[in-house]
Structure 1
Amino acid sequence: MIKYYNRNNKSYEIEQVAGDKVLNWTYSSPIGLSLLELIIKRRIFSSLYGWYLTRRISRRKISSFVSNFNIDLSLTEKGLRDFSSFNDFFYRKLKPQARPIDKDDLSLISFGDGKLLAYETIDLEKLVQVKGFTYSLRELINNDQIAEKFTNGTCLILRLCPTDYHRFHFIDSGTCENTIKIKGAYYSVNPIALQKVKKLFCENKREWTIFHSNNFADVLYVEVGATCVGSIVQTYTPQTTVNRGDEKGYFKFGGSTVILFFESDQVSIDEDIIEQTKRGIESSVLLGERIGYKKIPLSRRG
């Protein structure tokens, strides 16, 4: 059971988890854990299942998934019968009006739909995965020089469960560098798995990019793959100007995670998100909504 905080009605709710029984069995039973290490975490397993989900026959899964998880298809560009495969449905695009983007330059917006944790004044050597499990930014991106830029900065972890909109976006206008890809395993990023696999984010396949934001200085994007994620697809063009809310990329099937790092004294995160994170509870957010604001240096304040 995964409890999260609903910011809209200020209440706690229970997340509907796709495949929760299988997930619990895999990460809790001796047989499941053996299969996890031998087969499930490996690229071939995710690639084969991902291949099936791109075939037309996989369309049969869409209707029941929509019904079981109350997916609102009135917000999507395509209708139920228009998807060519389950994966086509999974990384579906939304209508522009479905996710209004906060246009205030001082507002920090959510970069996708999902469940958010936020940490301020981070220790680069002890980033929090879950209570008791930490990892290092250096291990996450394999680059000491880049990691050092974010000493005492802010870290945002957005978890996209399989029922979520699976595209991720830019938080601001600016330019983005080329993507660096790191090979790895394919563990689930569900909290159940995070409590079982040490340094999971550093074990999984991941990609990272430096985004030169116009209002928030340099921002480090890290996209982490997961079980059955056939690929992380980057749709932006490097070294070209992007606008706040523009798409950066998407995940194919599977729950996935996007992690953002900000330099020190650049942003403040909304208090309700910080308070829930201290309690170990994720906050539900939607693309484009405000989740914080830009810090204004004392020298520029009136």
Structure 2
Amino acid sequence: MIRYYNRKNKAYEIEQVAGEKALNWTYSSPLGLNLLEIVIKKKMFSSLYGWYLDRSVSRKKIGPFIQKFNLDMSMAEKRLKDFASFNDFFYRKLKSSARPIDPDSHALISLGDGRLLAYEKIDLDNLVQVKGLTYSLRDLLKNDRVAERYQKGTCLILRLCPTDYHRYHFIDSGTCENTEKIRGAYYSVNPIALQKVRKLFCENKREWSTFHSDHFGDVLYVEVGATCVGSIIQTYSPQKRVSRGEEKGYFKFGGSTVILFFEPGRVGIDEDILKQTELGYESYVLLGEKIGIKLEASEI
């Protein structure tokens, strides 16, 4: 059972986990763990399932998925009958009115929908995966020079569940560099898996890029794939100016994670999110909502 904090009603809720029984069995039983290492974490497994979800025959999964997780489809751009496949539905676009962007340009907004953890004054060699398990930003990026810039900075981890909107966006206006791609495994990023696999984010397939933002300095975006995520799709154009809230990319089927790193002294995260992180709970956020503020020189 996974509990998270709902900022809107200031209460804890229980997450509806897609494939929860299979997930628990895979990461808890000896047979499941063996199958995980031999088959499930491999690219072939996720690619094959992703191929099926791109086919029109997978449309039959859409209705039951919507019903089981009580998804509000009134916010989607397409009508239900217009989705060509399950993946087409999974990474669906939303109407512009569905996720209003906080109007204050100095407000730090969420890059997407999901469950958020926030850490300040980070130690590059002891980033928190879950309580008791850590990893290194150097290992995550495979680039020591870039990693060093974020020592004592801020780290945000946004976990996207299969039931969430699966597009991610820019938190500010600015320009973004080319994406660096790192091959890896396809472990789940669900908390159940994070408690079992050491340095999971450094094991999984991932992509990273540096975003030169107008208000928050150089922000590091790291997109992490997961089980059944056949592709991480970047839709932005490198070196071309983007607007706050503009789309950066999307994930195909599966739970996924985007991790942001800020240089020291750039942002202050909202107290409720920091408090819940300290208590061990993720905070549920939506694209465009305020999660922090730009720090001025006098506040550093």
- TM-score, scaled relative to structure 2: 0.99
Instruction: Name the residue aligned to 1:96.
Output: 96
- Describe the SS at the equivalent of 1:12: strand
1 CA distance for matches of 2:75 and 2:42? 34
- Distance in 1, Cα, partners of 2:139 & 2:103: 35
Distance 1:251 1:35 in 2: 24
The equivalent residue for 1:6 is 6
Match of 1:79 in 2: 79
Distance 1:298 1:284 in 2: 31
Partner residue of 1:179? 179
1:261 maps to a residue whose letter is F
The alignment of Structure 1 onto Structure 2 pairs a total of residues equal to 300
Cα distance, 1:105 vs structure 2:
1.3
Correspondence for 2:272:
272
Superposition deviation, residue 298 in structure 1: 1.5
Aligned to 1:291: 291
Residues 1-302 of structure 1 aligned to structure 2 (within 5 Å): 1-298=1-298
Measured against aligned partners, the alpha-carbon deviations of 1:150-177 in whole angstroms (never above 9, x if no partner) come to 0100000000000000000000000000
Q: Give the letter aligned to residue 39 of structure 1.
A: V
Letter in 1 for 2:204: N
Q: Secondary structure at the match of 2:157?
A: strand
1:299 Cα shift? 8.9
Partners of 1:233 and 1:268 in 2: CA distance:
30
Deviation at 1:215, TM superposition (A): 0.3
Q: Any runs of at least 4 consecutive aligned residues in structure 1 with deviations exceeding 3 A, and if so which?
A: none
The one-letter code of the counterpart of 1:244 is R
Query: Quick one: distance in 1 between partners of 2:176 and 2:104?
Result: 21
Residues 82-119 of structure 1: per-residue CA shift (max 9 Å, x gap)? 10000000000000000000121110000000000000
Alpha-carbon separation, structure 2, partners of 1:99 and 1:249: 16
* Amino acid across the alignment from 1:18: A
Deviations 1:119-174 (A, max 9, x none): 00000000000000000000000000000010100000000000000000000000
* Structure 2: runs of 5+ lacking an equivalent: none
Provide the C-alpha distance between the structure 2 equivalents of 1:247 and 1:6, rounded to a whole number of angstroms: 24
Counterpart amino acid of 2:180? I
Distance 2:103 2:180 in 1: 29
TM norm structure 1? 0.99
Q: C-alpha separation between the residues in 2 aligned to 1:22 and 1:291?
A: 33
Q: What secondary structure sits across from 2:158 in the alignment? A: strand
Q: Which amino acid aligns with 1:76?
A: A
**Structure 1 alignment gaps of length 5 or more:** none
Q: Which amino acid aligns with 2:294?
A: K
**Aligned residues with identical type, % of pairs:** 73
* Matched residue type, 1:233: I
State the alpha-carbon separation in 2 of the partners of residues 143 and 199 from structure 1.
16
CA distance in 2, matches of 1:194, 1:58: 29
Structure 1 residues 74 and 299 mapped into 2: Cα distance closer, same or farther (>3 Å)?
Answer: closer
CA distance in 1: counterparts of 2:199 and 2:103, whole angstroms = 36
SS at match of 1:242: coil
Question: What is the root-mean-square deviation in Å for CA atoms of aligned residues?
Answer: 0.9
Report the CA distance between 1:80 and its aligned residue: 1.0
Query: Alignment partner of 2:138: what SS?
Result: helix
